[in-house]
Chains A and B, each alone.
Chain A
Amino acid sequence: MTPTTRTRWAILGLTGPAYLWLAGTIFLPLTAMLVLSFLDKSPLVPQPASFTLANYQAYFSKSFYWPLTRWSIELGLWVTLFCFLIGYPAAFALAKRVKGRWREAIFLLIVLPFWSNALVRVFSWTMVLRSNGIVDVAVQSVFPGAPTIDLLFSYPAVIIGLVHSYLPYMILTCYIALQAIDDSLIEAGRSLGANRFTTFYRVILPLSLPGIVSGAALIFVPVIGSFMEPRILGGTKGATLGMNIEEQFTVTANWPLGAALSFILLAIVLVIFGILYPVLRRQGGGA
């Protein structure tokens, strides 16, 4: 065997298991769901099913899907935006200001939410946000005459809950990007006459853009399909497409429709990334 063919075999041997696993866990179920989305009956029913486009047509013909979709996308944008506004400064402080032991301690606090059950996390927010909840009581004790604060079952409640869940992704990806920026680049910027703000805007921000983009992608994609947080914290307000999809599977047992809606959601995500990709590529070209 020549070295090159041997290398090829080695690559195949090393990557093979990973590809098999990915094919098994992503490709197969996705294909099954794709087929399912074109059926006219749920596979749970004994009658034989036939192929149809009706499930996709339903999305475009029924007017109530559009507000659900719009709110899902808006929710994705809001949550991503707030995660950026809160997470980026935190990551910056952690990467460039905090040193040594403290950094590890703060890191632990950031990943701590990941270790608790998502359902517990969301339900604990209901106790904080409802009237006579923790926020309300705290505000009343400081400003006795203030109007009652009841955030539960509102748009802000959903956003707060989701930001809390997904913030660590933004902090971690931005931290990694910021930490890779050599301090001498920042000093070079300053020595060339740029003040702190200009140095941030012209050097730090563009170099950390890849971290922001991956954080945004990691947050936007799951949030736009979320259903648990909107249901528990939003109640009847702000139903999302994700909630509707979940109902098709668990309540109405209309699996084909649920599958079709899932693929529409996937298509929306892909279209958004397709539009943003060239823009981001140009911006973050160097890194």
Chain B
Amino acid sequence: MSEVAVIGAVKRYGQVVALGGVDLTFADGEFFGLLGPSGSGKTTLLRAIAGFIDMDAGEIRVDGTDIARIPVHKRNIGMVFQNYALFPHLSVAENIAFGLDVRNVPKGEIRARVGESLDLVRLSGLEGRRPRQLSGGQQQRVALARALVTRPQVLLLDEPLSALDKHLRQEMQVELRRIQRQIGITTIFVTHDQEEALTLSDRVAIFNQGRVVQAGAPREVYERPVNRFAAGFLGEANFLQGKVVEVAGAAARVELASGGQILVPATGLSVGAPVLVALRPEKISIDPAPADAAVAPNRILGKVSAAIFSGSSLTYRVAAGDQTVIVFEQNKSRAPLAEGSAVVLDWPVADNVVVAP
């Protein structure tokens, strides 16, 4: 098992900057999710690690050794492709044995290791089938077994679950995590499904336009996004814009452009500074406004402009001045608030996250 370090990776295709200086370290045994919109460079990074493309600048080190000059077939990597890329002319067992076969592993050992791999992905009994005789989920398992049987240093997966339907995808997520834990392989996983990235990963990195916007543990990235893009890409966020009017101790009072005031952590802020605050919709509590409702910091008044019922939860769109605030509420015993009703929103100071624009 190995640590992979990407240092200053740059890759251009003509005018397009696919990787614009990426620095990331994938710790030994870690499950790392690469997340980002389409065209943000995730596949390019994965292919650079695999050795399919030469970077214009930067280094990739596996356990401290630069692997730039090592051709694909001599890098010890396991790769799972989006379309599985199983060899159609070979049986399941032959597909899995391929990597051992080309390394001239003795026949007896190949048979034993193919058997072990089939057990690992729970496909024993299907070794004689051709790939086209398997379901999508089974093909996925074969692809995984084939990539792991050579005991690679790193496992690379490029949107491996995107071709599966929702139910199967969830099942495979659990499987993937179980298998990864069992063998403890450093795993880099590309997905555009944010929920998938959050559930599976030890750490995630958010990509945008060939750069890493933010990297860290899922919870950290979700709770403390660094900028507007990170906050908006991972989950939903309300963005509140304002100006610092007072700094008192650890808190700064911010006058919102849409009216009302909020308190934010004062770190690095001075009076008059413009601030952008990201606020997650589930952090806000929403209640019918009493007749004598008073405004206070982190407490604003508004009107429900839309109430969307989706079973276990409700989504409210609340008009507060010219700002629309989105609020998620668990479907508890109370009857949903009617559209047009006056409401009061409040939330803890700590949930106001100052982000870069």
User: Taking beta carbons and an 8 Å cutoff, which residues of A are in contact with B?
Assistant: 182, 184-185, 187-195, 198-199, 202-203, 206-207, 284-287
Contacts and interface: CB of A to CB of B under 8 A. Distances in A.
B52 A194 contact: no
A185 B79 CA distance: 11
Given A193-B150, A198-B102, A184 B87 contact: no
A180 to B, nearest CB: 10
Contacts of B71: 195
A206 B150 CA distance: 23
B103 interface: yes
Contacts of A284: 89
Interface string B59-78: 00000000000011110111
The B interface is mostly helix, strand or loop, or mixed, namely loop
Contacts of A202: 98, 102
Contacts of A185: 85, 87
B355 interface: no
A195 B102 CA distance: 9
A139 B86 CA distance: 51
Given A198-B102, A286-B89, A286-B90, A191 B83 contact: no
A198 B87 CA distance: 14
Nearest to B156: A191
B89 A194 contact: no
Given A188-B146, A190-B73, A192-B150, 4 more contacts: A191-B77, A192-B147, A193-B74, A286-B130
Contacts of A194: 73, 98, 102
Nearest to A198: B102
Given A193-B102, A194-B98, A207 B89 contact: yes
A168 to B, nearest CB: 27
A190 B77 CA distance: 10
Nearest to B74: A193
A135 B150 CA distance: 55
Contact of A188 (B85, B89, B103): B85
Contacts of A287: 88-89
Contact of A286 (B50, B79, B88): B88
A287 B131 CA distance: 11
B347 interface: no
Interface of B: 50, 52, 71-74, 76-79, 81-83, 85-90, 98-99, 102-103, 130, 146-147, 150
26 contacts: A182-B83, A184-B83, A185-B85, A187-B50, A187-B72, A187-B79, A188-B81, A188-B87, A189-B87, A190-B52, A191-B50, A191-B79, A191-B147, A192-B146, A192-B150, A193-B73, A193-B76, A194-B73, A194-B98, A194-B102, A195-B71, A202-B102, A203-B87, A284-B89, A285-B89, A286-B130
A132 B182 CA distance: 77
A187 B81 contact: yes
Nearest to A287: B89
B72 A191 contact: yes
Nearest to B131: A286
A190 to B, nearest CB: 4
Given A184-B85, A206-B89, A287-B89, A189 B98 contact: yes
A198 B99 CA distance: 11
B69 to A, nearest CB: 15
A166 B305 CA distance: 74
A264 to B, nearest CB: 37
Contacts of A198: 73, 102
List the 5 shortest-distance A-B pairs measured between CB atoms, nearest first. A286-B89, A192-B99, A184-B85, A188-B85, A191-B79
Nearest to A285: B89
A202 B82 CA distance: 22
A52 B144 CA distance: 68
Given A187-B52, A286-B130, A192 B85 contact: no
Select the residue from A187, A192, A286 with max chain B CB neighbours within 10 A: A192
Contacts of B150: 192-193
A200 to B, nearest CB: 12
A148 to B, nearest CB: 49
A287 B88 CA distance: 7
A187 B73 contact: no
Most chain A CB atoms below 10 A, which of B79, B82, B86, B130: B79
Nearest to B103: A193
